[in-house]
Structure 1
């Protein structure tokens, strides 16, 4: 008798990726269609699980990170949660530095997974509103710890493997799950890893696919506008600078979203679609609706975007 197959996963690492795509036909019955990638279904409840796994696996392959060695990262929370899962399974002590302006739920989540979270006082932001200066303060504290301990610094903002993770997984999944029917891809930008990797893959498959970056209103450096509102609700994105990993080659345009629009669509995604997500997810969907109603793309377009994380990460 042939052995009976089972579907048991070897570890939490095998739960990362292959997230479903859902149509938001109740929230947006038309024109066109909005399709969302449910990244909150990753084990760390965000899209950052993908890059966390790839960056550490590749560092281990090259010998940059040896078994049992400590790891450090500067995070707004989601990358930290993803890294905490990977480090727990692979056996690496993990320290994370994060601005006190980022939601405390993220620190609770990271520490529940065995990581140490150092919450760094804000320089100019307020709780829930984190600026580039606040991120730089967290980075400065992180680099001190690297110098003291010799920990492997993941460095998500400058690590090309961040983009690779989405080129290898997110892009191919979207292409397969939509039956190769993608007209537009849009995404908020923090490190730019998700946008760059996914946009590059999709444009290689079909150069006619349009790609748009979503920026907070008043913090639109990719569009080339002066920064008038560095404080906004989109934690983990819109840091008022062009990320080092960002390349204009794969972008067709930018879209802006106000805090009020992000909050409105975060609420609508819950009430109309039964999905409780974070503020950047609300911003992505708000931008998709605006684009479809703008008349700048064909009205029957399928727009794919990301639900980056769960609403449970916010207070």
Structure 2
């Protein structure tokens, strides 16, 4: 941090003003905070390097500024130029701060799995944001890797940052974050644990710490759907391991040049659910409001606890702020939809509480089959109860309707009563979930639940599956 010192006479005393010349001067020197309740069961002293204290609220501020300054120095980035980068959001924020101070334009290319908050924040600080699909190959022209590279070709006086392969990424952490951790622990750090994405953080810090003490162990946190763990253990890049995942900021379907596997002692993989659950736990149990990768790291600590002794000092890095995930991990509805919310589900009414306000979709016996099909399309459902003036008298299922159509192409114009099946069983709201599950069979695809207000709701096999933890 560049400090401006001014001596001002005041009542025969001198005072010194201490301030940064601009916001970039506040990057770094983030605190170490002891973790307590959330690491119960781990013998070691666990310290979190809380990188949210950087001005852009993430560790990426460090490497963003370093990459820009190095590009300026060797002429890759020229005055008035456009900075282009594919980012999960945090690097974009760091680049945006530097672009504002230094007078550059910025285009951030981001995948559609990133939180809305990240996109909104980038736009708020002047970045142009282009959103690309997640579930495409890295070489696909629609991927955020490919789009970033092509923009750099098409836009004059532009510079493609390429944080994945840019050596300044790891160098920033070798020069800054590693020394900070060493000095803050007085050289007593024995283990360093961090999520791995571009690889710059773990490689830069790991290299520095191992140079100071070769016995320091460096552990990477990976996610399911990513290739790092198996590649580190076997040297095999297994494309069968690559699939879509929810966890943000860690894991990759490529091998960035910044990942120096030689300084990494091992990886552990953390599920999307565990990462999300522990992200919330950190806020509730430690009062530290951090992001998704931090949750993955803390769960990873528990998975690795057999490697830590009572005299060890374990440093875990918290990448970014929880403010970027308020619509995701910190939103009950988002968590519930994915089965991540740790709620006890024991009876029938528990299965429908997240959509209990939706009305029951029904069809009458004398309506046409085409009406039932239209409702299935409109509400994206597969089963509909059939009623008449006396109550529930039957049911229609998309599979049964398909079979009816195969046998008779004119079935759409027939009344429902001619194709309907047996009515769905009706259970009380307090019916145990185990008994409800037994009623879902090949021949019976749903169950009706009688609510206390006299209304009914439907339970399908997907509600049962969604309750499995």
How far apart are 1:133 and its partner, in Å? 7.0
CA deviations 1:54-103 (Å, max 9, x no partner) are 00011112222122211111111111111001100111011111112211
Q: What pairs with 1:245-260 in structure 2 (closer than 5 Å)?
A: 245-260=258-273
Supply the distance in 2 between the matched residues of 1:218 and 1:118 (Cα, whole angstroms): 24
Supply the distance in 2 between the matched residues of 1:61 and 1:132 (Cα, whole angstroms): 30
Query: Match for residue 35 of structure 1?
Result: 47
CA 135–26 in structure 1, closer or farther in 2 if over 3 Å, else same = farther
The worse-fitting range, judged by mean Cα deviation, of 155-164 and 19-28 is 19-28
Cα-Cα RMSD? 2.0
CA deviations 1:16-52 (Å, max 9, x no partner) are 1111010102322441121111111211111110100
Pairing partner for 2:179 from 165, 172, 179: 172
Supply the distance in 1 between the matched residues of 2:138 and 2:287 (Cα, whole angstroms): 33
How far apart are 1:256 and its partner, in Å? 1.6
Give 1 or 2: higher strand fraction.
2
Q: What pairs with 1:82-161 in structure 2 (closer than 5 Å)?
A: 82-124=94-136, 137-150=143-156, 151-161=158-168
Pairing partner for 2:34 from 23, 26, 35: 23
* 2:228 counterpart SS class: coil
Query: Match for residue 204 of structure 2?
Result: 197
* 2:304 counterpart SS class: helix
Query: Match for residue 24 of structure 2?
Result: 13
How far apart are 1:132 and its partner, in Å? 5.2
- Preserved contact between residue 135 and residue 244 of structure 2 (Cα < 8 Å): no
Count of paired positions: 307
CA 247–97 in structure 1, closer or farther in 2 if over 3 Å, else same = same
CA 78–170 in structure 1, closer or farther in 2 if over 3 Å, else same = same
Supply the distance in 2 between the matched residues of 1:140 and 1:256 (Cα, whole angstroms): 27
* 1:102 counterpart SS class: coil
Query: Match for residue 69 of structure 1?
Result: 81
Runs of 4+ in 1 over 6 A off after TM superposition: 133-136
Supply the distance in 2 between the matched residues of 1:136 and 1:249 (Cα, whole angstroms): 33
- Preserved contact between residue 34 and residue 288 of structure 1 (Cα < 8 Å): no
**2:280 corresponds to 1:273:** no
How far apart are 1:250 and its partner, in Å? 0.5
Supply the distance in 1 between the matched residues of 2:174 and 2:140 (Cα, whole angstroms): 30
- Preserved contact between residue 52 and residue 321 of structure 2 (Cα < 8 Å): yes
TM-score by length of 1: 0.91
Supply the distance in 2 between the matched residues of 1:273 and 1:223 (Cα, whole angstroms): 32
- Structure number with greater Rg is 2
- Structure 1's unaligned 5+ residue stretches are 125-130
CA 282–143 in structure 1, closer or farther in 2 if over 3 Å, else same = same
CA deviations 1:225-274 (Å, max 9, x no partner) are 74446222221221133322212210111112112221222122111110
Query: Match for residue 233 of structure 1?
Result: 246
CA 136–242 in structure 1, closer or farther in 2 if over 3 Å, else same = farther
CA 135–211 in structure 1, closer or farther in 2 if over 3 Å, else same = farther
* 2:220 counterpart SS class: strand
TM-score by length of 2: 0.62
- Preserved contact between residue 140 and residue 146 of structure 2 (Cα < 8 Å): no
How far apart are 1:213 and its partner, in Å? 1.1
- Preserved contact between residue 182 and residue 302 of structure 1 (Cα < 8 Å): yes
Query: Match for residue 127 of structure 1?
Result: none
Supply the distance in 1 between the matched residues of 2:254 and 2:310 (Cα, whole angstroms): 32
CA deviations 1:93-131 (Å, max 9, x no partner) are 11111112211211111111111111123445xxxxxx8
Supply the distance in 1 between the matched residues of 2:38 and 2:29 (Cα, whole angstroms): 24
Supply the distance in 2 between the matched residues of 1:193 and 1:207 (Cα, whole angstroms): 19
Query: Match for residue 304 of structure 1?
Result: 315
**Larger RCO, structures 1/2 (Cα 8 Å, 6+ apart):** 1
- Preserved contact between residue 56 and residue 97 of structure 2 (Cα < 8 Å): yes
* 2:114 counterpart SS class: coil
Supply the distance in 1 between the matched residues of 2:110 and 2:141 (Cα, whole angstroms): 8
